[in-house]
Structure formats: structure tokens, C-alpha cells
Amino acid sequence: MSRPHRPTSSSRSSCSGGAFDWDPALRRLDELDAKVEDPTLWDSPTQAQSLMRERTRLAGQVEAVRGLERDLADAVGFAEMADEESDEASLEDARAQLAELKTRAARAELEALLAGEADGNDAYVEINSGAGGTESADWANMLLRMYTRWSTAHGFTVELIEETPGEQAGIKSATLQVKGTNAYGWLKTEAGVHRLVRISPYDSAARRHTSFASVWVYPVVDDAIEIEINPSDVRTDTYRASGAGGQHINKTDSAVRLTHIPTGVAVACQAGRSQHQNREEAWKMLRARLYELELQKREAAAQAIEDQKTDIGWGHQIRSYVLQPYQLVKDLRTDVETSDTSGVLDGDLDAFMGAALAQRVGATRDAAEAS
């Protein structure tokens, strides 16, 4: 069995295309460690929180690389012993270990690209059904399940913030809050219109139907990020919560919808037991949405926000899911595709996210160099 390549500092620094350079990263981590020990750090809480977030992110990336190196050395040593003893069963175990390490390394390489201002933050995922009644509402519900499964499989915590049921089945809309490091960095690649083609379970004639639903992703922002909102620019509507939540939540106008009049941005929350709780969460969501607007303006290679929130229908989709007459999920931005439609709908989205993230980072870098 040939000896696998052992990573060196030069190979580590080049693996992410320059987004995570090893030696500068170590020097910066040393600088941050020194600043953390400064007793005057928390004299400026905003600056301290920003520094701590950077340190946590960078330390995690460094430890991920070191962990891969340790595990690789162990796997190589195990493989060499098995090879010397001609132990085929152990060699097979070593191959499996190396394959798992390759997968981890690929994900670590992509995570090194998550260097955007809000990439490390939690995320809101908003799903809306398109035209098509029950068909689109059911498709929106399938997407809700897909993102919930992806999130839990990757160790994120998922909270349902708002859900509006469809008239017969599925959902008209829903908003998830996905909590965990880099949640927004990964999920932001899913924003856009998703198209489904299948034999309708609601059509007695068993005809094929095409359905659309939109996904919108924006970061959860904390108090360290200042977003000024004029209260007079915000319209507040209250209504009766429509989801499950007990006797209280269904008998009072506890749900809250905020609409930012200058931009048309609207958010809704009904997860809390009181109108006060829902109002507070809705304001957080509104700040996050407006912050995402600002981030979009800064990204030269990204589409303008209104281009991403166009009609939910033909010509605007980012991904197509075909269940009949053949099985295929294809991303129309990157051309990544798979026939494992059930796996994708169960949350196996890493290949699509990784390709879209790499494309997005590359486009942003090219635009910056051109300017």
C-alpha cells in the first residue's frame, strides 16, 4: 500500500485558494490570544465581541487542520502495520479511515472559504410556496423538511419561528432559525427559487405537475452590529397564530408581522407565547433582513437582492428536482447533479452547497481583482 502524502505547512496554506493561509493564520491567532489576555479588552464590549468571534472562528479552523493531521498520521501508521502483516481486513479499515478523512478535509477546505462578515452567524431560513395552490404548498413543506434534516445532521439547532399552513396540505410559508457556527455561511447558497417536477399525489388523473417555492436566507445579527431603523418606517400587524402552540397562542392575537415600508421587507413571528415575545423576535428578524440587504450591496459579484426575490416561477430557479419521468436533482448555477433524489430531499445537500460556495467566493475574488 503506497504511503499517503503527509500535509506540510505549504500544502495547508494553499489548500483553500488563499482564503485560509496557514502561517498568517497562526500569527493572527497568537495576536488574538494576546489581546484576549489584556484586562482592558472589555472596556469596549462591541470591539471585544468582534475580537472573540474572530478568535473562535480562527481557532476552530486551526484545530480542524491539526486534528486532520493527527488522524491522518494515525491512519497511515495503522495502514503500514496492516500492510507489513498482510492483514487485508485491517487494510480495508485503513482505507475506510482515509476515505473519511478525505471527506473531512474537503469540508474543512470549504469552511475555510467562509470568511464573509456574517458567515459564522446563525441563520434564518424563510420558505414561501409559489403559485399552484396545494402542489406548491406541499413542495414548500418538503423543502422545510429537507433543510431541517440537513441542519440537524450537521449538528445545528433548529427552531421553527413561523409557519402558515396551506389550505389543504403543506405550508404557505415558514421561517426557521438555524443555530450554530457557520450556519449562515453554508445556508446562504440555498437562496433562490426551487422547482419540483413529479406525478402529483393530489391529482386523480396522475398527471405530472411543476411546482415552485422560494428560499430566502439571512443572518441572525447580534447587538454588536448596529442597524438603524426608524420606527415610523415600520408597520406592525398582529393576528391570531395559526400553528400548534396550546390554548393561549391560538386564542389571542399573539402573532406579529413587521413591514419595513421603504424596502418592502416583511417578517413574521408566532413562536412565542405572547405578543411581546413575538414582537421582540420579529424586530431581531427585521434587523437581520436589513443587515442582509447591506451585505448584498457590498458583494460586487452577488446578484442584487431584488433579483433574488423575483417571481417564484419559470426562469428564476436555482435548482431543479425531477422525480418523474426520471430521477435527477440539478443545480442550474454550478451544473452539479445527482440521481439520488431521495437522499437530497432527506438533507444530503453538501455537494450542492460546496460547489455554490466555491463558485460564489471565486466570483467575488475575480470581481475584486478586476476592480
* C-alpha cell of residue 4: 499517503
Q: What whole-number distance in Å separates Cα of residue 189 and Cα of residue 97? A: 30
* C-alpha cell of residue 257: 408581522
Q: How many degrees, rounded to 5, is the angle at CA 278 between CA 277 and CA 281?
A: 90
* C-alpha cell of residue 127: 420558505
* C-alpha cell of residue 314: 419559470
Look at residue 15 in the predicted model and tell me its pLDDT. 38
Look at residue 211 in the predicted model and tell me its pLDDT. 92
- 123-370 and 9-111 share a CATH fold: no
Asked if 302 and 357 touch (Cβ cutoff 8 Å), the reply is no
Look at residue 170 in the predicted model and tell me its pLDDT. 93
Amino acid 74 reads D
Phi-psi region of 128 (alpha: psi -120 to 50; beta: other; left: phi over 0): beta
Please, what CATH class does the domain formed by 9-111 belong to? mainly alpha
Look at residue 248 in the predicted model and tell me its pLDDT. 45
Q: pLDDT tens digits, the chain, 371 residues: what are they? A: 444 444 443 345 433 334 557 888 899 899 999 998 988 988 888 778 778 878 887 888 788 889 889 999 998 998 889 888 888 888 899 899 999 898 888 777 777 777 777 888 899 999 999 877 889 999 999 999 999 999 999 999 999 999 999 988 999 999 999 999 889 999 999 999 999 999 988 877 778 889 999 999 998 886 556 677 899 999 999 988 765 544 444 567 789 999 999 989 999 999 888 889 999 999 989 988 888 887 776 654 344 444 445 555 555 689 999 999 899 999 999 999 999 999 999 999 999 998 998 887 766 666 556 65
Query: Can you give the residue ranges of every domain in the chain?
Result: 9-111, 123-370
Q: What whole-number distance in Å separates Cα of residue 257 and Cα of residue 188? A: 23
Please, what CATH class does the domain formed by 123-370 belong to? alpha beta
State the angle between helix axes of 88-111 and 350-370 in degrees (0 to 180), rounded to the nearest 10.
Answer: 40
Amino acid 23 reads D
